[in-house]
Amino acid sequence: MANQKEQLTRIKILEPLFPNRSTSIINGETSGILNWNDIPYPSFYRAYKELSTNYWIPDEVDMKSDAKQYPALSEQEKYAFDAIIGLLATLDSPQTRFIYNIAEYITDPAVHANAAIIAQQEVIHNESYSYVLASITNLQEQNRVFELARTHPTIIKRNEPIMDAYDDFMNNKTGETLVKALIQSSILEGINFYSGFAYFYNLVRQNKMTGTGKIISFINRDELAHSKFISEVIRAILGENPELQTEELVEYTHDAFRHAVELETEWSEEVLQGIEGIDVEEMVDYVKYRANKMLGMLGIPELYPGHSDNTMTWIKAYADNFTETKTDFFEMRNSSYKKTNMDNGFDDL
């Protein structure tokens, strides 16, 4: 049991004097040897199986039609496409470093194993955004999109609460700052991607940019698994350390989710307003539904009464639940892919 303000102990890579089965999830003892048949939380093994079966790489996806269709998108559609690709990169890039950093302060080796997969998948996601752009435009334009994301005031404002919590943990590694950083991570994984996902799925239902849509569907599936596992880790930490379960933490969580929904609403209104097929008000309701769903996974009361179900009916075919059997709405993989190369800039990145 850890005090809220007690500094967390950085794990040793290998400690033969300690047991293989971790004695607690933080500030505990473990040899560092992982025996999946003897772990405190069997759900972490189920998470491992789900994460490890999601393997994919972006250059399996045929981008020929996207390369032809991108120039024909309206200026508004192009701006949204570029801004959202850039936004997603600003979320996935730091997530890799964050996952590695928190793993060093969690005792359970099963968490380390799953964190390694999650971090690797975030790298693939980031490569995907470069791959998509390299498939449809030149290197100068690719760099412009990433610069747009780095300097866009709304994106900076949107990411700030998450990065502040990450930095708080890096500067003061306690149980309290760890839980708050993980809560912000669950917001990133479970809310902040979804208006972007919806934009690409909306293009797909108009038979536009289906290669990009397929990549987004893979990323979406990964992020669902990530957010589910992160919520399990949070619940495990709180279950073992009841002194961290304070009214202040519930209030912090509600405030964080409320603020995230407000920022997501602001972003949606800025980028998606006027896009054919997207009702921004409906999108905001969808984001509130996602917030309630994530809060439920954390065991915290929902914020938005009347938003327990996904009323954005068309998106259910693409994004509602990748853990259930469903029809694949994207074409099967094709062996005749457009490969990116030095001529369109991918090899230069």
Q: Which residues are known catalytic residues?
A: 129
Under DSSP, is residue 193 helix (H, G, I), strand (E, B) or coil?
A: coil
For residue 122, say whether it is annotated as part of any ligand binding site: yes
**24, 47, 23, 51: which is closest to 36 by C-alpha?**
47
Check residue 278 and report its DSSP letter. Answer: -
Q: Which residues pair with 174 in a beta bridge?
A: 7
For residue 226, say whether it is annotated as part of any ligand binding site: yes
Residue 227 vs residues 192, 268, 326: alpha-carbon distances, Å: 11, 22, 20
For residue 247, say whether it is annotated as part of any ligand binding site: no
For residue 223, say whether it is annotated as part of any ligand binding site: yes
Instruction: Read off φ and ψ for residue 63, nearest 5 degrees.
Output: -110, 10
For residues 269 and 224, is the Cβ–Cβ distance under 8 A? Answer: no
- Cα distance between residue 166 and residue 101, in whole Å: 10
63-93: b or e for each residue (b if 16 or more CB lie within 10 Å)? bebbbebbeebeeebeebbbbbbbbbbbbbb
Check residue 62 and report its DSSP letter. Answer: -
For residues 114 and 312, is the Cβ–Cβ distance under 8 A? Answer: no
- Cα distance between residue 295 and residue 93, in whole Å: 25
Residue with tokens 């495990």: 236
Residue 198 vs residues 166, 203, 205, 271: alpha-carbon distances, Å: 27, 9, 10, 12
Q: What single-letter amino acid sits at 100?
A: Y
Residue ranges of the annotated binding site for Fe cation are 92, 122, 125, 189, 223, 226
Binding-site sequence positions: 92, 122, 125, 189, 223, 226
